[in-house]
Amino acid sequence: MFRANLTAVVTALCMAFSAHFNPAAAQDRRVPSSPAELRLSYAPIVQRVQPAVVNVYAAKVVQNRNPLLDDPIFRRFFGGGEQQEQVQRSLGSGVIVDSSGLIVTNVHVIEGADQVKVSLADKREFEAEIVLKDSRSDLAVLRLKDTKEKFPALEFTNSDELMVGDVVLAIGNPFGVGQTVTHGIISALARTQVGITDYQFFIQTDAPINPGNSGGALVDMNGRLAGINTAIYSRSGGSQGIGFAIPANMVRVVVASAKSGGTAVKRPWLGAKLQAVTAEIAESLGLRSPTGALVASVVPNGPAAKAGLKSSDLITGIDGQAVDDPNAFDYRFATRPLGGTAQIDVQRGSKPLKLTIALETAPDSGRNELVITTRSPFQGARISTITPAVADELHLDVDTEGVVVTDIGDGTAAQNVGFQKGDIILSVNSQKIIRTSDLEKAAKEQPRLWRIALVRGGQQINVTLGG
């Protein structure tokens, strides 16, 4: 009995030693063959990757203004008063992805921050600057300030090669208690109905993830970055075994844009609107199951049109990878490198086709983005003329024209009135709004009533506000 156990232990240690120095061996997937193997430790992986995972502290100053100060009679009798400042703080995690001090975290961790600090695993703290924010993927890139040393960084794995059942480790700063490691497996891949970001394509894991883990690392058994932990499904605020991570292949795209000096992520533009295949549509098309992305409309002279894609075509794959729904296609397409081509599999009627589409960015000239500063219901709204690039970013119909709200300032008149990101302004006091300059001019007028027509979620809304 003793010899049998000793043999199992020696065998297990040899296999662990081999996997540590031979990444190919570590990729072998198998069930543990003995009790001794169950006593093996993740410590070598943790020791290697933990120094590259950091804590991110963000702070912003907000003004607590008494609404009575807006009343001139109140100010006359009680004075103007002073606005009280309050510092709001948020806590999250991040991952060093370049030895120069480049860090990836979530946008929602540092959103609106006036100051960002990063604490390393060795307790040292650095000021950090925001290099790039990509709200569409909820990823942000930071750079450590005033340092020239080389930092430990994680390499990316190919997240398309991950499989359900693979063991993963989640590392971050849950609830602010300090750096913590949890382990679990990949529960599902390509989750597209989560509703967190524009690109609905997440790794689901049962590795415990809690508030504060956002922006932290999900690593594989080779110690490579498999994803960035970003959200949990919870009814209590704590982990309930369902966590979501942004795949490493999307993170790689955002980091590459930051390294190249870009302030925004540039992605390929399809030039077509896609819709999900329902059970009814699948039946009408003679499909066995409701999968794929149905082409609803195509922009004239866009990449899709030039490739020969037509309305009612069914996209079933891209570069040999299956496409289950429009969200899956959006993710696959967005992670393709610009400048080349992609091959998409299409079902047109009963005929399968392969089309080659150019990977190029959407035209963006004429955006003319600006913030309305004039005292009006639009004060504090950032607006843009709708270009193909803007329509793509906000998921508007490909033929949409006019002016759209792209952001709303906190505590502004536009926010208080109820404007939302994505609102399309059609007219103000019967004046048609085509360009941002039209709305800027209309906002400078001081009418007694504001009659505004807008589109929200495909529905036209008419509102009247007092001047």
Catalytic positions? 108, 138, 214
CB 169 within 8 A of CB 44: no
For residues 95-128, b (16+ Cβ closer than 10 Å) or e, as one string?
bbbbeebbbbbbbbbbeebeebbbbbbeeeebeb
For 226: left if phi > 0, alpha if psi spans -120 to 50, otherwise beta; the answer is: alpha
CB 173 within 8 A of CB 198: no
Provide the Cα torsion 427, 433, 437, 440; round to 10°. Answer: 10
Query: Please, what's the largest Cα pairwise distance for the chain?
Result: 94
Query: Distances in Å between the alpha carbon of 412 and those of 5, 88, 308, 461, 463?
Result: 70, 18, 46, 21, 18
Provide the Cα torsion 78, 80, 82, 83; round to 10°. Answer: 110
Cβ neighbours around 384 below 10 Å, total:
22
CA distance 413 to 131: 29
Cα–Cα–Cα angle for 189, 190, 194, nearest 5°?
A: 110
Write a three-state SS string for 56-111.
EEEEEEEEECCHHHHCHHHHHHHCCCCCEEEEEEEEEEEEEEECCCEEEEEHHHHC
Q: 161 Cβ partners below 8 Å, 6+ apart?
A: none
H/E run at residue 430: none
Of 312, 335, 332, residue with least CA distance to 324: 332
